[in-house]
Amino acid sequence: MSRIAVVGVGRVGGAVAYALMLSSMAKELLLIDIDVELREAQLRDLADVGYACNSRTRVRGASYRDAAQCDIIVFTAETMVTRGQTTLDFTYRNISILREVLDATTPFKPDAILLIACSPVDLLTTLAQRLSKLPASQVIGTGTFLDSVRLRGMISDQIGVAAKSIDIHVLGVQGESQTVAWSAATIGGMPIDKCISPEVLKRNELVRESTEHSLGVARTRGTFPMGTGSVVASLCSSILLDKRNVRPVSHWEPDTGCCFSTPVIIGRKGVVGTILFPLSEAEEFDVRQAVEELKITVDRVDGIN
């Protein structure tokens, strides 16, 4: 019997749970939150979702220990973004939440997959990999998956080609320093440089629009609940059904000692394979530079109790 736990059922966690209920991919969906009243309200709301869509998924409240025995544990617990709050304060509070939850949850069952779906995703995924005591392949973060989906959709709108025929990935450290792998992008299997002229595909304009889209949502809502819910559901499906889909997710890179996004194969054991992804020299430089900055941050916070 497949079971998924969602730890933290605020706006993002609620949207994740909703997407998982609609998909009916798991037999059981466990909700965990320190705010018991919020959890109970989400349970009642999701029960109605189940009735309305005839979901085969049973939803119930649970403890951290229960979560540790699930097939997938989706971590969405994070502090609310408040006016005047600095990025540093937001980051340290989320690190504290992650440490507390993992301390209450471990040990995990040996084949559990831990999926980090909150910000800053690469830093938290790196710390989760170190603290969870799970194999590196079983700890992943949503990374740049949503950013890649968004950019693919924008390209589709601009050139009039179905998004599923476009293969492009955003890589590296999610956020302002992420890198678009234009050099490896394809449309219908053909290199994008060979089939679409720069006059038609305005790359800088697309990247700017994608960034403004992201910042606009962040300023207004603080989070991306619906988008995050959709990519989490996609990743959970890839894991439970062992689909072997290629996704740009945050995962452990032993050569760098931290987690960031590159395309990997996602299956029942988490990251089941890597993809050799050719980048231009400029793209490789941008990714390396962002990773070096991430490593500095990881080293700074790694010793904090």
Quick check: 81 pLDDT over 70? no
Is residue 12 marked as binding? Answer: yes
3-141 CATH, one of 3.40.50.300, 3.40.50.720, 1.10.510.10, 3.40.50.2300: 3.40.50.720
> 6 pLDDT band (50/70/90 cuts)?
very high
Quick check: 217 pLDDT over 90? no
Looking at residue 83, what is its pLDDT?
60
Is residue 10 marked as binding? Answer: yes
Same fold, 3-141 and 145-301: no
Looking at residue 222, what is its pLDDT?
66
Looking at residue 89, what is its pLDDT?
78
Is residue 153 marked as binding? Answer: no
Neighbours of 73 (CB within 10 A): 30
Taking the domains of the chain in order of start, what are their residue ranges?
A: 3-141, 145-301
> 79 pLDDT band (50/70/90 cuts)?
confident
Please compute, for residue 21, the number of CA atoms within 13 A of its CA located in the half-sphere on the CB side.
25
Task: Give dist(CA 131, CA 183) in Å, integer.
Answer: 36
Least confident range from 10-14, 179-183, 273-277: namely 273-277
Quick check: 49 pLDDT over 90? yes
Q: What is the pTM of this model?
A: 0.94
Is residue 8 marked as binding? Answer: yes
CA–chain centroid gap for 16, Å, is 11
Residues 6+ apart with CB under 8 A from 209: 154
Is residue 255 marked as binding? Answer: no
Is residue 59 marked as binding? Answer: no
Q: What are the strands, taking DSSP E only, across the chain? A: 3-7, 28-32, 58-61, 72-75, 113-116, 139-141, 166-167, 170-171, 179-180, 186-187, 190-191, 245-253, 258-267, 270-274
Quick check: 201 pLDDT over 90? no
Is residue 245 marked as binding? Answer: no
- Cα distances (Å, whole numbers) of residue 93 to 106, 200, 285, 299: 20, 44, 31, 17
Residue in the structure block whose two tokens are 């989320």:
94
Percent of the chain whose pLDDT exceeds 70: 95
Looking at residue 85, what is its pLDDT?
62
The overall longest dimension of the chain from CA atoms, in Å, is: 56
Quick check: 305 pLDDT over 60? no
CA–chain centroid gap for 58, Å, is 24
Q: For residues 185-206, give the mean pLDDT.
A: 85
Residues 6+ apart with CB under 8 A from 197: none
Looking at residue 86, what is its pLDDT?
65
Neighbours of 14 (CB within 10 A): 22
Looking at residue 82, what is its pLDDT?
61
| CATH code for residues 145-301 | 3.90.110.10
